[in-house]
Structure 1
């Protein structure tokens, strides 16, 4: 088992997220802007763990110390199974899915898939996500919007 360093400051948490390829789209740590997700903020010496959606911010928890706030935020982020998953694309063709999954396996990149009823139950689509820093070796596989 790999020993992770203890994370006690907002800066250390921000660096840990970057080093482990967590997406900055859903978490605001140290001031990055997000549309929807959770964040950690220091307001007048009091730390807030919050949720924001469409500009509406709800405070979920308050902390008196940076260390306490950061350790809580770190555990919340680690518990979020989607926090370090990077969206590659959504496909209706099983042949294309198999081709992409085969390429991910060949590159030894960890991935996760699911199926969603995109246009109803008769229109299932497969979504493909790359986990963690595997995204660095899979950028060429990201489906253009």
Structure 2
């Protein structure tokens, strides 16, 4: 597998490209992992606030790098997560989660302190290819 094939596979499987970058466009990431060719090797590194960090792994072959990246991202549920709703009300988030469940779509909800501890937001996430089912049903 090469980097073009990897990027295509990740996209087709519903990975969220806001959390990773394959190739030279990594500067667009706020925070996330990136794989890029540097000289004759391929580097896997973390980007924080748009700045490249030290290489976490260096690979001599493109195929080895791509296989590693695919396996690493496959183990990270957040690499496949998609925010599909954020609400001020917990009941609204629960309503969306129930509606998704009726469509056979698994979801997960959480609570974050949006404007501080007394101003929570309730988020709903789906994972992987289920994001395509939601996009298609919204049309």
Question: TM > 0.5 between the two?
Answer: yes
1:124 to partner: Cα distance: 2.9
The correspondence of residues 91-110 of structure 1 with structure 2, limited to 5 A, is 91-110=87-106
Relative to its length, the structure with more helix (as a share) is: 2
**Equivalence for 2:124:** 128
**Equivalence for 1:81:** 77
Cα pair 2:85 2:93 within 8 Å, conserved: no
1:141 to partner: Cα distance: 9.1
Cα pair 1:100 1:141 within 8 Å, conserved: no
| Cα deviation digits, residues 98-130 of structure 1 (max 9, x gap) | 221121011111211111222333333211111
SS of residue in 1 equivalent to 2:77: coil
**Equivalence for 1:4:** none
SS of residue in 2 equivalent to 1:138: helix
Greater shift in the superposed pair: 17-26 or 89-98: 89-98
- TM-score, reference length from structure 1: 0.81
Cα pair 2:45 2:57 within 8 Å, conserved: yes
1:86 to partner: Cα distance: 0.6
Q: Structure 2: which 5+ runs fail to align?
A: none
What CA distance in whole angstroms lies between the structure 2 residues aligned with 1:44 and 1:115?
Answer: 44
**Equivalence for 2:38:** 43
What CA distance in whole angstroms lies between the structure 1 residues aligned with 2:69 and 2:52?
Answer: 16
**Equivalence for 2:18:** 25
RMSD over aligned CA atoms reads 2.1
- TM-score, reference length from structure 2: 0.84
**Equivalence for 2:52:** 57
